[in-house]
């Protein structure tokens, strides 16, 4: 399985015919090194919550690729208005797909969708455990530290993507505790340094965490 960090919280997961994209914040992220044109054959898009830096280019990419969008019920309803293919699920639910299994996890955060002057209800924010070909990837979404993460230890996660940037999510010290709860084989930091409010040094996270932390540069991939 190939995992590529596209910057912020955008992750590309590739395994055989499966090309899953999580929180595709591409065109709006000046640090992102690819464009939406580079994302071809995307079979699935996972959206953790309704904030703009996570919904990102979902509508555009889903239209071009006929991708199935997997997200919570409320955000799924929002995307349905664009005549896009969606699969709604919700916190705590696990479902089988043709590529494997997906569980939605909870997150301590918001999920409102900004639409010009209005705020559309985006339900509860979440994260995903995406299981493909025997490998489990946890994408925490945007979240504060929660003791519920301790339950994820039982999932035997292979790779956990955790936010470390603070202000809107866990900072480094809380992410160190989260990593300790989850006990994933590999932890990859995300949601830092995209803008000033979430400045964090991933090397400090790597040094403080007891887990095996791998820092991925933007557009860097790893094989697991
Ligand atoms: Ni957010
Ligand atoms: Mn965010």
Q: How far is the CA of 160 from the centre of ligand 1 (A)?
A: 18
Name residue 18's beta-bridge partners.
Answer: 15
Q: Which residues contact 205 (CB under 8 A, 6 or more apart)?
A: 164, 172, 175, 176, 189, 213
pLDDT band of 46, cuts 50, 70, 90 = very high
126-173 pLDDT per residue, tens:
999 999 999 999 999 999 999 999 999 999 999 999 999 999 999 999
pTM over 0.95, yes/no: yes
Q: How far is the CA of 85 from the centre of ligand 1 (A)?
A: 23
> What gap in Å lies between CA 67 and CA 79, rounded to an integer?
12
Q: Which residues contact 151 (CB under 8 A, 6 or more apart)?
A: none
Strands (E), the chain: 2-5, 11-15, 18-22, 44-46, 68-72, 86-89, 94-97, 100-106, 113-115, 118-120, 126-132, 135-139, 159-163, 186-190, 221-223
- Ordered by where they begin, the domains of the chain are 2-223 (3.60.15.10)
Q: How far is the CA of 45 from the centre of ligand 2 (A)?
A: 16
């Amino acid at each position: 399985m190939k995992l590529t960090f596209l910057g912020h919280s955008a992750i590309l997961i590739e395994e055989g015919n499966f090309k899953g994209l999580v929180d595709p914040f591409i065109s709006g992220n000046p640090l992102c090194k690819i464009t939406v044109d580079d994302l071809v054959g995307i079979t699935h898009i996972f959206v953790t919550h309704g904030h703009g830096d996570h919904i990102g280019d979902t509508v555009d990419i889903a239209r071009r690729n006929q991708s199935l969008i997997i997200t919570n019920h409320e955000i799924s309803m929002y995307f349905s208005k664009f005549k896009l293919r969606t699969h709604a699920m919700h916190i705590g639910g696990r479902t089988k797909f043709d590529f494997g299994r997906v569980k939605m996890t909870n997150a301590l955060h918001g999920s409102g969708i900004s639409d010009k002057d209005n705020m559309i209800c985006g339900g509860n924010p979440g994260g995903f455990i995406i299981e493909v070909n025997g490998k489990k990837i946890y994408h925490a979404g945007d979240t504060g530290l929660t003791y519920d993460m301790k339950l994820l230890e039982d999932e035997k996660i292979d790779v956990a993507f955790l936010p470390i940037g603070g202000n809107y999510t866990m900072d480094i010290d809380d992410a160190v505790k989260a990593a300790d709860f989850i006990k994933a084989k590999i932890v990859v930091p995300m949601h830092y340094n995209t803008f000033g409010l979430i400045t964090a040094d991933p090397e400090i996270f790597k040094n403080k965490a007891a887990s095996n932390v791998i820092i991925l540069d933007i557009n860097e991939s790893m094989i697991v």
